[in-house]
Amino acid sequence: MPELPEVESIRKNLEAVIQGDTIERITVYYRPIVSNDESFETKLMNQTIHQIGREAKYLKFILDDYCLISHLRMEGKYLVDEPITKHTHVVFHLKSGHILQYQDTRKFGRFECVPIEASNTYLNLKKGLAKDPDQMTDEAFYDAIKNQRRSIKELLLDQKIIGGIGNIYANEILYLAQMHPARKGLTISKEQSDLILKHAKEVILLATKLGGSTIDTFESLGHKGQFQQHLNVHGKTSETCKICGSTIQKVQFKGRGTYYCPGCQPSITIGLTGGIASGKTTASNYLKKLGFMVIDSDHIVKELYEKKEVIDLISKQFDVLEFGFINKKKLAQIIFKQPKAKKKLESILHPLVFEAIDVLKHQAFEHLIFIDMPLLFEVGYQDIDYSLLIYTKPSTQLKRLIDRDFLTESDALSRIKSQMSILKKKKLANHVIENEKDILDLYQNMNTYLREVLS
């Protein structure tokens, strides 16, 4: 698909040939290309082409009374004085004798004819088209992405966020900014946003100077782009990163071929933990609501208890089998009273849980992966980059557990003491989020962590 640099190259080459020429007549072979405008030919007849402009990926032919807007989409192209083919859908016969034709193998491109007075406002007001990178301010770009749950790759491709960037250039921009393509906008700091926009401007400027990228079929009136000679990651699958030496990889992400360096654009795994009744589950659910990947170790354990091979392993060690299933209450009574039995059960379950987590992690293409593990420190799970503790004071923890589960103080204390103390966990954690107030305060603290601590 022609992106901003390619469309700009087309604009320059067309302007050099047909600027100042007059349209004498038009032949339309496929009306959807001209937005099914029945008066298309009548409007444009005898109109002079005063200028050819561009906004993002749109061409704008400035005429006497109209602005003819052209969107090339996937495969649209212009040819001058070439033979008509089955892929020719619109032909402009010019006064000079030149014949300008529009070809489109997929028929996705479109023309729109708007009054000349709307030439500078139509795309923004009617299409929501954002400014090109070189016209975008740092503040405007950050405001557009800072609350977004979508990935930064999606945001760069969204023409209502920033204009003109397509898949090739988004891959290159994020590589230079050392930003994982799946990173959510709401986790990006102002400084990181500024860096992304800086590289967007640099990449688009260089690509424009070099006439765009000719990778598949793009050319402009016989001119091919040269930016493909400067690509760092796009199309470089299995090649070595020039910065860190890692192997460049390609994945399909949100329907687009996404090239990235796992060394320069790493994913991050965060172990999310907390004491009983600390608010960890609330924090975990909030992360899921925001669209983050959260691997729930308790859910994995629950699934393991339903697998025949696991049932067989446990039933050989504990007399807890009833009607072919594990009696979890009976098993819980055993392990709470017998530390050795608890360790024996852990020796069965923990390796299986760790293996399941690793499978899920490797299947995912995410910037942040949270592992919700209540006993993170107790079980010694090490395959994380950071640990995050949801902390509440022991007195608050006790009160919440009593109120939540309708327990006596003695029973609540017994459950709390069955885990590592919240104070000891606080010393082990990389980061601590205090949860002493209401749920909105916890959410705000989580937002701060996502944007500032991970910047």
Q: Does residue 83 have an active-site annotation?
A: no
Q: Which of 207, 233, 260 is the last residue of a domain?
A: 260
Q: Does the active-site annotation cover 242?
A: no
**Domain encompassing residue 218:** 133-260
Q: Which residues belong to the annotated binding site? A: 277-282
d(CA 48, CA 24): 9
Same domain, 396 and 332: yes
Whether residues 448 and 361 share a domain: the answer is: yes
Q: Which residue has the tokens 């109120």?
A: 403
Query: What are the CA-CA distances from residue 105 to residues 46, 75, 86, 110 (Å)?
Result: 28, 6, 9, 13
Query: Burial level of 91, CB count in 10 A (0-12/13-18/19+)?
Result: middle
Return the closest-CA partner of residue 226 out of 234, 218, 237.
218
End-to-end CA distance of the chain: 33
Q: Which of 11, 54, 57, 183 is catalytic?
A: 57
Query: Which residues are documented as binding site for ATP?
Result: 277-282
For residues 113-149, b (16+ Cβ closer than 10 Å) or e, as one string? bbeeeebeebbeeebebbbbbeebeeeebbebbeebe
Q: Do residues 50 and 64 touch, judged by C-beta distance below 8 A?
A: yes
> Is residue 239 located within the same domain as residue 320?
no
Of 260, 290, 325, the one marking the end of a domain is 260
Same domain, 164 and 120: no
Strand, coil or helix: 378:
helix
pLDDT in tens, 152-192: 999 999 999 999 999 999 999 999 999 999 999 999 999 99
Other Cβ atoms less than 10 A from the Cβ of 405: the count is 12
240 and 301 inside one domain: no
- In this structure, the answer to whether residues 42 and 59 fall within a common structural domain is yes
- Active-site hit among 198, 250, 256, 344: 256
Report the greatest alpha carbon distance in the chain.
96
What per-residue confidence (pLDDT) applies to 212?
86
CATH number of the domain where residue 209 is located: 1.10.8.50
Assess whether 293 and 307 both reside in one domain.
yes
Based on the fold, state whether residues 176 and 200 are members of the same structural domain: yes
Going by their DSSP bridges, the two strands 268-274 and 368-372 should be labelled as: parallel
Residue 164 confidence (pLDDT): 96
Number of structural domains (the chain) is: 3
pLDDT tens per residue, the chain (455 residues)?
789 999 999 999 999 999 999 999 999 999 999 999 999 999 999 999 999 999 999 999 999 999 999 999 988 999 999 999 999 999 999 999 999 999 999 999 999 999 999 999 999 999 999 999 999 999 999 999 999 999 999 999 999 999 999 999 999 999 999 999 999 999 999 999 999 999 999 999 999 999 888 655 445 565 566 788 889 999 999 999 999 999 999 999 999 999 999 999 999 999 999 998 999 999 999 999 999 999 999 999 999 999 999 999 999 999 899 888 889 888 888 887 788 888 899 899 999 999 999 999 999 999 999 999 999 998 989 999 999 999 999 999 899 889 988 888 888 887 888 788 999 999 999 999 999 999 999 999 999 999 887 77
Q: Which of 86, 112, 127 is the last residue of a domain?
A: 127
| Residue 279 shares a structural domain with residue 212 | no
Q: Which CATH number do you get for residue 362?
A: 3.40.50.300
CB 92 within 8 Å of CB 59: no
Is residue 57 part of the annotated active site? The answer reads yes
CA distance 74 to 361: 34
Q: Annotated catalytic, 219?
A: no
Residue 329 sits in the same domain as residue 431: yes
Neighbouring-strand partners of residue 59:
54, 70
